[in-house]
Amino acid sequence: KPFCQTPVIGSGLFTNNLNNNKMKLEIGMKFTSKWFEGTTEILAINEEENTLDVEIHRASGHNHSEEWNLQHTLWGFERGEYRLLA
């Protein structure tokens, strides 16, 4: 089943960050990780498959796409492992 190209609205896409503020994962959202250098951008959200299609932008210019587990990403935001970029 193809990824949705518009934000999917559903309870599974909302998470609490460390300050207990609700945030929603959306297509186009950019964030950094404490686990690797670079910027991650959400390209697609598939709530039914529990996946995110992301692109990782490296300073070296070696960008690549990956499929991530949606729930694990939400938990990463809750634990402060990811930081949303303005």
Q: What is the per-residue pLDDT for 13?
A: 52
Q: What is the per-residue pLDDT for 2?
A: 41
Closest Cα to residue 24, out of 16, 8, 13? 13
Higher-confidence residue of 30 and 24: namely 30
- State the pTM of this model: 0.75
Confidence of residue 11 (pLDDT cuts 50, 70, 90): very low
pLDDT digits (tens, 9 = 90+) for 26-82: 899 999 999 889 999 999 999 899 999 999 999 888 999 999 999 899 889 888 899
Strand 82-84 relative to strand 64-69, pairing: unpaired
Q: What is the per-residue pLDDT for 69?
A: 94
d(CA 45, CA 70): 8
- Inform me whether the pLDDT recorded for 3 exceeds 90: no
